[in-house]
A and B are shown apart, each in its own frame.
Chain A
């Protein structure tokens, strides 16, 4: 048995073949969640951003938002090549996961062994929380790819610095900060760790390269620095984020599946792994850097969030989940075959359970949506005006019912729409009552039981202005 395992372990071709098969299977699994599914609010925002803005317009619009523009550029580019279709937009989010798996297969297998790469690929692609964002038409999977890429290349450079590695390292770091603002935190910790390693080893040349690479990163980010400071200074529309270090809440949000006690088990496994990594002090303290990074990003991002209500959500530090998995892989996959196989089985089951959850979330709303779309197609005419009763929700409704003028029903002035038909999407406000109808000179007809994903449920009111 031992010899057979040794043979597999030493057969490079076989190892790469198995990893290729794994990456292909996991990619297919993710792609099955990108076709014919519902779109939620944030995704409709991406669609709106990409389809209604030029590249310059994206810069202008993202300057007013909480995310930088790189992801939207990539999405727009892909859609201009492969067509303005929803599956194309969703697939844009799968691409970085595939790239990350390829990168992990190469770097992890070379440095930490075949099983490390096998387990890590399963976790970064289909594990709970990550899978949802890996198929969501948002920037988070790209952020993860850039951040984890920087950290893996950082390790590579510390082991064997080469010019091309420095170039990729800088490119990934710049990509990360142009994709999500919070990506700067783990990269900062990685830079500090690399600096400490070079200082301890008295490698002056590499230390200079590190300083130059940091300088280049800052230089390339200068165009966006002013916008970053404005974004940070701008008060969010939501209430301020309340700082709280609830590890339990985080673990529940990230690791809960329909398998019993999955969050508790993940907590135990992560805890043991962190302990082992800190005790072992291997790989130039790489494991310890990952642990410090997890804690640093978890705490600092929330502190930053306190200053601006719309500037923090757990998904903004999604890379922390990847870092946790990386620690688990480092700590457990090199111990013995028993632990490695058990970990692979456990992670695979967790991943398949998460697949089921995401599938339910993305597709279960479909019957109600079809019914809604059918009603709208049959009843709403092209020149009808549409109205909604929540701020900015015309973006989501507009995705499903495109090509109409939208207005806010709370600012509705009937005299502007004489003889017109206005369809009101009622998510929170009540229908016009008889007195209001008489006062405004309108007739009202009510229809019940509609829903779009993200909007969940709403009623429709057909208002004819006399």
Chain B
């Protein structure tokens, strides 16, 4: 084998290992998983919110969005606004978003785009605060089988509410071993094409 070919093989191998490391353990390639409230039972709604929070446990280490639904009176004149914050247990604000009542009357299902790093297994709070007289309630799922995985406790105006928030958490999770192996073999297929080496098989008759 020529020296040039040997060098080329080693470069390919190095590239393959770098790409493999990016898949795992670095975790650059991830899979999107949504944990959401399920079931077909009717939803419920809380009393009008002044301050409320949903405590939840992080199911993975990268949260890309949280979706939730408000209950807004479409007939009354819109006033005030709602402030939503994602807060860690030590009080650090990780993401925040504000909505006017007018916006919520048009579209009551909202998404807080976060893309924040969380610590898997640790608890966080999704806080809702109304300002300037906004008349807004939160949509909830009343019974346990339908809770979004991770939800622990919903507190509305200082009192624990029945059920949990009707919501959805979207995480970017690290790949499981099957996906990692699948990605690694794909990397070797592509990188292997650049390795100039004829595997000694029975030669074709052509």
Instruction: Please list the residues of chain A having a beta carbon within 8 angstroms of any beta carbon in chain B.
Output: 2, 5-6, 9-10, 109, 111-115, 159, 259-262, 265, 268-269, 272, 276, 282-284, 332, 334-343, 345-346, 349-350, 353
Distance, CA A9 to CA B31, complexed state (A) = 39
How many Å from the CB of B106 to the closest CB on chain A? 33
Instruction: Tell me if B192 is interfacial: C-beta within 8 Å of chain A.
Output: yes
Chain B residues, Cβ within 8 Å of A261: 29, 183
Query: Which DSSP category, helix, strand, loop or mixed, fits chain A's interface?
Result: helix
Residue of A109, A111, A113, A343 near B189 (CB, 8 A) is A343
Q: Supply 13 further A-B pairs (C-beta < 8 A) apart from A272-B193, A353-B178.
A: A9-B201, A109-B202, A113-B204, A114-B201, A159-B205, A259-B178, A260-B31, A262-B182, A336-B195, A336-B199, A339-B188, A342-B186, A349-B181
Tell which of B175, B185, B201, B204 has the most Cβ of chain A within 10 Å: B201
Chain B residues, Cβ within 8 Å of A269: 186, 189
Instruction: Tell me if B132 is interfacial: C-beta within 8 Å of chain A.
Output: no
Distance, CA A283 to CA B205, complexed state (A) = 9
Distance, CA A260 to CA B192, complexed state (A) = 22
In the A-B complex, list the 5 residue pairs whose CB atoms are closest, starting with the nearest: A342-B188, A339-B192, A113-B201, A338-B192, A346-B185
Residue of B179, B193, B198, B206 near A259 (CB, 8 A) is B179
Distance, CA A211 to CA B190, complexed state (A) = 42
Instruction: Assess whether B204 is in contact with A112, with CB atoms less than 8 Å apart.
Output: yes
Closest residue of chain A to B188 (Cβ to Cβ) is A342
Instruction: Assess whether B182 is in contact with A259, with CB atoms less than 8 Å apart.
Output: yes
Instruction: Assess whether A337 is in contact with B199, with CB atoms less than 8 Å apart.
Output: yes
Instruction: Assess whether A346 is in contact with B200, with CB atoms less than 8 Å apart.
Output: no
Instruction: Assess whether B178 is in contact with A284, with CB atoms less than 8 Å apart.
Output: no
Chain A residues, Cβ within 8 Å of B43: none
Distance, CA A269 to CA B189, complexed state (A) = 8
Residue of B182, B201, B204, B205 near A115 (CB, 8 A) is B201
How many Å from the CB of B82 to the closest CB on chain A? 35
Chain A residues, Cβ within 8 Å of B206: 159, 282-284
Distance, CA A215 to CA B64, complexed state (A) = 64
Distance, CA A332 to CA B152, complexed state (A) = 51
Instruction: Assess whether B200 is in contact with A2, with CB atoms less than 8 Å apart.
Output: yes
Distance, CA A159 to CA B206, complexed state (A) = 8
Instruction: Assess whether A336 is in contact with B198, with CB atoms less than 8 Å apart.
Output: yes
Distance, CA A113 to CA B189, complexed state (A) = 18
Instruction: Tell me if B109 is interfacial: C-beta within 8 Å of chain A.
Output: no
Within residues 143 to 186 of chain B, which ones have a CB less than 8 A from any CB in chain A? Answer: 175, 178-179, 181-183, 185-186
Instruction: Assess whether B201 is in contact with A334, with CB atoms less than 8 Å apart.
Output: yes
Chain B residues, Cβ within 8 Å of A159: 205-206
Instruction: Assess whether A349 is in contact with B189, with CB atoms less than 8 Å apart.
Output: no
Distance, CA A339 to CA B205, complexed state (A) = 22
Instruction: Tell me if B197 is interfacial: C-beta within 8 Å of chain A.
Output: yes
Tell which of A5, A262, A349 has the most Cβ of chain B within 10 Å: A349
A-B contact pairs, 26 of them (CB 8 A): A5-B199, A9-B201, A111-B204, A113-B204, A159-B205, A259-B178, A260-B29, A260-B179, A269-B189, A282-B206, A284-B206, A332-B193, A334-B201, A334-B204, A335-B193, A335-B199, A336-B195, A336-B198, A338-B192, A339-B193, A339-B195, A342-B185, A342-B187, A342-B189, A345-B181, A346-B182
How many Å from the CB of B34 to the closest CB on chain A? 14
Chain B residues, Cβ within 8 Å of A283: 204, 206
| Chain B count of residues within 8 A CB distance of the other chain | 27
Closest residue of chain A to B196 (Cβ to Cβ) is A336
How many Å from the CB of B94 to the closest CB on chain A? 26
Instruction: Assess whether B202 is in contact with A334, with CB atoms less than 8 Å apart.
Output: no
Chain A residues, Cβ within 8 Å of B198: 335-336
Residue of A9, A112, A342 near B200 (CB, 8 A) is A9
Distance, CA A261 to CA B185, complexed state (A) = 13
How many Å from the CB of B22 to the closest CB on chain A? 14
How many Å from the CB of A260 to the closest CB on chain B? 4
Say whether, besides A282-B204, A349-B178, A338 and B185 are in contact (CB < 8 Å). no
Distance, CA A345 to CA B198, complexed state (A) = 20
Distance, CA A112 to CA B201, complexed state (A) = 8
Chain A residues, Cβ within 8 Å of B188: 338-339, 341-342
Distance, CA A338 to CA B175, complexed state (A) = 23
Chain B residues, Cβ within 8 Å of A260: 29, 31, 175, 179, 182-183
Instruction: Assess whether A332 is in contact with B189, with CB atoms less than 8 Å apart.
Output: yes
Distance, CA A284 to CA B206, complexed state (A) = 8
Instruction: Assess whether A342 is in contact with B192, with CB atoms less than 8 Å apart.
Output: yes
Chain B residues, Cβ within 8 Å of A6: 200
Instruction: Assess whether B205 is in contact with A349, with CB atoms less than 8 Å apart.
Output: no
Closest residue of chain A to B203 (Cβ to Cβ) is A113
Within residues 77 to 123 of chain B, which ones have a CB less than 8 A from any CB in chain A? Answer: none
Chain B residues, Cβ within 8 Å of A335: 192-193, 198-199
How many Å from the CB of A356 to the closest CB on chain B? 10
How many Å from the CB of B201 to the closest CB on chain A? 4
Instruction: Assess whether A343 is in contact with B185, with CB atoms less than 8 Å apart.
Output: yes
Instruction: Assess whether B202 is in contact with A10, with CB atoms less than 8 Å apart.
Output: yes
Chain A residues, Cβ within 8 Å of B187: 342
Distance, CA A401 to CA B182, complexed state (A) = 44
Residue of A272, A282, A341 near B190 (CB, 8 A) is A272
How many Å from the CB of B143 to the closest CB on chain A? 18
Instruction: Assess whether B197 is in contact with A336, with CB atoms less than 8 Å apart.
Output: yes
Instruction: Assess whether A339 is in contact with B201, with CB atoms less than 8 Å apart.
Output: no
